[in-house]
Structure 1
Amino acid sequence: MKKIAVLLMALLVLILGACSGGQESDKKDSKDKKDKSAQTRTYKSENGSVKVPVHPKRVVVLSSFAGNLMALDVPVVGADAWSMSNPRFKEGLKNAKEVSEENLEQITELNPDLIIALSTVKNVDKLKKIAPTVTYTYGKADYLQQHIEIGKLVNKEKEAKDWVADYKKRAADSEKKIKDKIGQDASVSVIENFDKQLYVFGDHWGRGTEVLYQALHLKMPEKVEKMVKKDGYYALSSEVLPEYAGDYIVVSKDKQSDNSFQKTDTYKNIPAVKDNHVLEVSQKEFYFNDPLTVDHALDVFTDYFTK
C-alpha cells in the first residue's frame, strides 16, 4: 500500500507540473504574439495610414531624406545616387548600397523593413509589396517640419524636435553676428550651373537657400524673388545674370560641370564679383536640406559672412 501511495503521489506531481508547464507555455505564446504585434505601428502618411516598424533597422531611401535618417541614427541600407555621391554622407552610408526605384530586384535583395521616397517616385505600388513605403511631396512641409515628420515616422519625434529647437537657436545667434557684419539690408543670390543651364534659386530649393533666407533671414534680390515665385527656381542666361545678382553671390558648384560663365566679362563685371563677395560651395555637399546639410551650411555661411 505504501508503494502504491508513493506512486500515486509521484503521478500527481507530474500531472500538476505538466499543467503548470502548459500554463507557462500558453503565457509565453501569448507574450510572443503580443511582442510581435507591438513591432509595428500605424503612421498617418499623406497618402493614408501605413503599418511601419516601431524601430526601423533596414531603411531604403530613394530620394532626399538620407541625411534626415542619419541625423536620427536610423540605419540606411540603400540610398539614391545623389545621396551616395555626397562626400559628407560617405561615413554614414559606408554600409549602404546605391539604389534606384527602377531596379526593384536590387531593393528586394537589401531586405528593407521601410522604404522612404518622394511622391514622384516610380513603381510605388511595386515598392509597397517589398516593404512598407512612405512618400512625401517635396515642399509640402518646410524643411524643419519635414524633419519632424520623418522623426514621427521612425519613432524619434522628440529627437527631431530637439534638433530643430537647437538649430533655430544657433541660427538666431548667427543671424545677429552676420547682420552686424554685412548690414541688415545686404542681399544674397544663389546660382548654379546644372546640366548646362544656369539657375537662380528661391528660399526652399536646397543649395543652402533654406539657411540663407529662412533661418538667417538674409534678403533675396527683388528680381530673383519675383522670378522664382512660381517654381522655386528660375533658369536664365549668363548675359542677364547681373540683373539677378545680390550684394553677395553663393555659387553652388560642381567642378565637373561647365562653369565657363565665371570666365566671361559679364560675370567678372558684376559688382559682387569685383568686390570679392562670392562664396563657392560644393553642389554635392549643399544639394539637400536635411539636418546634416543645413548644419554644415550654417557653419560655412557664418564663417564666411563674419570673417
Structure 2
Amino acid sequence: MNLNDHIRLWNHVFVKILDVRQNALHPGEKLKNYQLPASTYLYIIDGSARIRMDQHRYIVDGFHIVHGGKQAYLNMETDSGVAYYMILYKAILALPCGMEIQHLMDHERPFQDQYALVPTRPLDMYQCMEELKREWEQSTKLAKLHAKTLFHQWVYFLLEDLHRQSIQPYKPDTVMQAIDYMNAHLHEPIALDVMAEALECSVGHLSRLFKQKLNISPIQYLGQIRMERAAHLLVHTGATLQQIAEQVGYPDAHSLSRSFKKIKGLSPIRYKKGLSQWLSKPQKALELNHEQDLPSVMQENALHPLHPSLYNDIDYQYQKNVGGELLMQGKFKITALSMMLCLTLLLAACSSPAPSASSTQTETTATTTQSSNQAAESGKSTAQPETRTISTLRGDVVIPANPERVASDQYMGYLLKLGIIPVGVRTFMLNESWIEKSDIPADVIAGIEDLGGEFPMNLEKLVSLEPDLIIGSIDKNIEDYEKIATTVFLPYWEGETTSGPLEKLRRIAGVFGKEKEAEAWITTYEEKVDEAKKRIDGIIKDGETVSIVQIGNKAMYVMGADGGNYGSSTIYEMLKLPPTQQALEMKEGFESISLEVLPEYMGDHIFVYGSGDADAEEVLNSEVWKHLPAVQKGQVYAYGSFGDKGDEFVMEDPYSLELQLDTITNILLKAKK
C-alpha cells in the first residue's frame, strides 16, 4: 500500500483512542507475549530494548516507534532499562464512503500493519505525546477532544517520517492470525463475525482469504482443527467424550461425535480403538476404559455423574481392589455360564433324536431350548421351532423364537409399546420424560434393572441378569455383548445406517415377530397424523417454508429435513410441513451455524427448540434475529427444553412421537387463534 492511500484512509476514518499508557521496564525485565487488544503505537523515549512483534524483531536504542495491529503478540526485553508510551486506538471507516475507500480498508488494512522507524522530530513528538497523555487523563469531554486532536498531530509527524524514510510496512498474514485466534479460543463457540471483528476485517474478506489460501472456509477449517485436537485428546488422555467436547468448543458429546465422524470418517471410539495398537503407553487398556461413545441427542453426561468403568479390554476383568485382592467375578461368571451352556448342549445332543432331512438349517445348527408351554398347549409331540434366524447389519443371527429376558442399551420405549418389558436398560432410558405421561404402571418401570449410564452397559450386572437376548445400538459394543448372550445389532445413530422412527419400530418388531402389533400402532398413529394435518391446514400457506432451529448451551443448530432431531421427524416427515432448500440439502441431519448466517437458513415459519434454555436469549435478543421476516410476522413457535431430563422431543419412540404430535399441533392451533 502506498503512502497516499494510507493518508486517504486517515482522512476517512473515525479514530477512537482506547488508552494512553506510560510504562517502563527495569534492567533485566521482560514483557512476554502481550497480545495487543487494538492497533497500537509503541513510542520508545529512552533506553534500549529487543522487541519482537509476532515473528519480526527490532533492536531499538533511544527514540523509536513501533506499530502493530490488533491480535499481534508483543515481546520486549531490556538489559539497561527502557521507557515508552503506548497509544491503543481503533480506526473505523466513517460512512458513507466510496467503494474504492471501502476496498482499501478491507484489503489493505493499514491499521494492522507492522513497522518500525526512528522519528526525525523526536522531541516534537515527545512533547505532543506528553500533552496527549495529560489530556487523556482528564475526565472532561473537551480534554478528550483535545487528546484526539493531539493524536492526529502525532500521527501527522509519523506519516511524514514514513514518507521520508520510504518505510515498507509488513502486512501480517490475516489467515494465520485467524488460525491463531481459533487455537486461542478453541474451547469457545466461535462466530465468524466475532472473529472477523477481532481481526478488524470484514466477514467476506476473511472468507475470501481462506478460500484463496487454503481452499476452505474459516468455519470448515475451524471444524478441522477442533477435530485434530479432539483426536489428540482421545488417543492421549482418558477424558470422556463430553469432557473433550467442552474442551474443543462443542456443547455436548453428541455434537462432537457427529462432527468427528463427518470429518474423520469414523466415530471417535472407532478412531481411538484403531490407533491404540500403535501406542505403547503403560495402562493403555485402562485408558481406553474411560472412553464412551455417546451420540445420543441428549447426553446423560451432562445430567448424571459419570463413574469410571469397572472393566478393561481384557476378558472383562473386574478392576476393583477390596482388602488388597483383585476380584475377577465378571470373568468367573462368564466362564461358569459358558460351561453350563456347553453341558446343556451336550446333554441335549445325547438325548435328542437325530434331526430329519427336512429340518431347516436354523433348526439343525442353532441352540434350542425346551418350550414346555407350547407343548402343553398343542398336545403334540412335535415341538414348535424354538429359534429364528434374522438378518442384521452384522449378518444373520440365530435368536430365541420367544426371548423372555431382553436387555437393551436403547429402544426401551419401542419395546414397551410392543408389549416387551426388558429386564435391563441404561440409566437414561429409565429417566425419559414421556414415562410420567404414559399409562405404564410405575411398578413395571421399577422392575427394569438399571444397567448404568455408559456404553457399553454394566457388563457384570448384565451377566447377573442372565438375558437370553441383548439389543445393542453401537457397533463397537456388540462383541462385548455377544460374550454374554445372543445379541442383535440395531444402530440408532450411525450415519447412513440410521432409519426414521417408524422404520426403527418395524426393525424392533421384526426381531420379536411383532410385525402385526407394530403395523397396528403405525396405522393408528398415521390416522392421528392425518387428523392433525386437517386441523392445522392453512396455517402454513402454499409456497411458505418451515425451519427448525435449536438454540442454547452456547450453540445453534438448524435441523435437516431428513435424519434430524428435536421433533424434526414429526414436523417434516409426519406433518409434511415444507422444509427450506437448505434443510433438504443437509446430509447429516443438522448443521451447526453462527449467528451471521442465520437468515440464510430461516424459512417463513420458524420452530425454536430450547428458547428458554441457557444462552438462548443471546440469539433471541440479537438484531439479526429480530430482523428475520418470520420473527417480524410473528410466525415463530417456541417449544421444548432440555430441562433436568429433557422432554418428549429428545427421543423418537412411539410414546414420544404421540406426545410430539400433540404438542406441535397445539402450538400451531394456538398461533392460528
**TM-score, normalized by the shorter chain, greater than 0.5:** yes
**1:124: which partner in 2?**
478
Aligned to 1:178: 536
Listed one character per residue, the Cα deviations across residues 245-264 of structure 1 (whole Å, up to 9, x for unaligned) are 22322223296654343343
Calculate the aligned-residue CA RMSD, in Å.
2.9
Q: How does 1:99-248 map to 2 (within 5 A)?
A: 99=452, 100-102=454-456, 103-118=458-473, 120-137=474-491, 138=493, 139-193=497-551, 196-202=554-560, 203-226=562-585, 228=586, 230-248=587-605
Mapped partners of 2:637, 2:604: distance in 1? 9
**Per-residue Cα deviation, 1:37-94 (whole angstroms, up to 9, x for no partner):** 744332222222223233333322223x222112112112333344333211355644
2:658 corresponds to 1:303: no
Q: Is the 8 Å Cα contact of residues 148 and 160 (structure 1) preserved in structure 2?
A: yes
Q: Take 1:106 and 1:304, find their aligned partners in 2: how far apart are those partners?
A: 43
Q: Output the amino acid matched with 1:272.
A: A
Say if 1:35 and 1:134 are closer, same or farther in 2 by CA, change over 3 A. same
Structure 1 residues 239 and 209 mapped into 2: Cα distance closer, same or farther (>3 Å)? Answer: same
The Cα of 1:269 is off from its aligned counterpart by: 3.5
Deviation at 1:267, TM superposition (A): 2.6
Q: 1:35 — aligned with what? A: 371
Conserved? CA contact 1:221–1:244, under 8 Å: yes
1:129 to partner: Cα distance: 1.5
Query: Does the 8 Å contact 1:101/1:122 carry over to 2?
Result: no
How has the CA–CA distance of structure 1 residues 33 and 134 changed in structure 2, closer, same or farther, with 3 Å as cutoff? Answer: closer
Cα distance change, pair 155–47 in 1 and its aligned pair in 2 (3 A) = same
- Partner of residue 78, structure 1: 424
Contact 1:199 1:234 in 2 (8 A): yes
Which aligned runs of 4 or more in structure 1 are off by greater than 6 angstroms?
Answer: none
Aligned-partner SS, 1:234: strand
Contact 1:182 1:305 in 2 (8 A): no
Cα distance in 2 for partners of 1:46, 1:108 equals 25
Cα distance in 1 between the residues matched to 2:465 and 2:552: 32
SS state of the match for residue 282, structure 1? coil
Superimposed CA distance per residue, residues 102-155 of structure 1 (whole angstroms, 9 cap, x where no aligned partner): 33223223332222122x343321211112211123454432222112111122
TM-score (norm 2): 0.38
Is 1:45 equivalent to 2:392 in the alignment?
Answer: yes
Q: How does 1:61-76 map to 2 (within 5 A)?
A: 61-63=408-410, 65-76=411-422
Greater relative contact order structure (CA < 8 Å, 6+ sep): 1
Indicate conservation of the 8 Å contact 1:198/1:237, yes or no.
yes
Residues 72/270 of structure 1: CA separation in 2 closer, same or farther (3 Å cut)? same
C-alpha contact 2:414 2:508 (8 A) present in aligned 1? yes
Task: Report the Cα distance in structure 2 between the residues aligned to 1:39 and 1:257, rounded to whole angstroms.
Answer: 53
**TM (normalized to structure 1)?**
0.78
Distance in 2 between residues matched to 1:172 and 1:224, nearest whole Å: 23
Secondary structure of 2:537's aligned partner: helix
How far apart are residue 195 of structure 1 and its match?
Answer: 5.6
Report if the CA contact (8 A) 1:190-1:201 is conserved: yes
Larger Rg: 2
Contact 1:84 1:98 in 2 (8 A): no
Could you tell me which amino acid in structure 2 is paired with residue 125 of structure 1? E
Q: Aligned-pair distance for 1:204?
A: 2.3
In the superposition, relative to structure 1, how do residues 44 and 211 fare at CA in structure 2: closer, same or farther (>3 Å)? same
C-alpha distance in 2, partners of 1:215/1:208? 10
Give the number of equivalent residue pairs.
275
Taking the aligned partners of 1:67 and 1:34, their CA distance within structure 2 comes to 30
Structure 2 segments unaligned to the other structure (5+ residues):
1-350, 353-367, 373-382, 437-441
Quick one: structure 1 residues 77 and 187, their matched pair in 2 at CA, closer, same or farther if it must change by over 3 Å? farther
Q: Distance in 1 between matches of 2:551 and 2:427?
A: 19
- Does the C-alpha gap of structure 1 residues 62 and 210 become closer, same or farther in structure 2, counting only changes over 3 Å? same
- What is the CA–CA distance in structure 2 between the aligned matches of 1:142 and 1:263, rounded to whole Å? 34
Counterpart residue type for residue 234 of structure 1: E
Distance in 2 between the 1:34 and 1:291 partners? 34
Q: Which residue of 2 aligns with 1:5?
A: none
The CA distance in 2 between the partners of 1:231 and 1:101, in whole Å, is 23
Percent identity, aligned pairs only?
Answer: 30
CA shift, 1:194, in A, is: 7.0
- Change over 3 Å in CA distance of 1:60–1:239 after alignment to 2: farther
Query: How far is 1:303 from its partner?
Result: 1.4
Distance 1:254 1:130, change over 3 A: farther
1:95 matched to which residue of 2? 447
Contact 2:407-2:422 at 8 Å conserved across structures: yes
* 8 Å CA contact 2:609, 2:641 repeated in 1: yes
Match of 1:55 in 2: 402
Gaps of 5+ in 1: 1-28
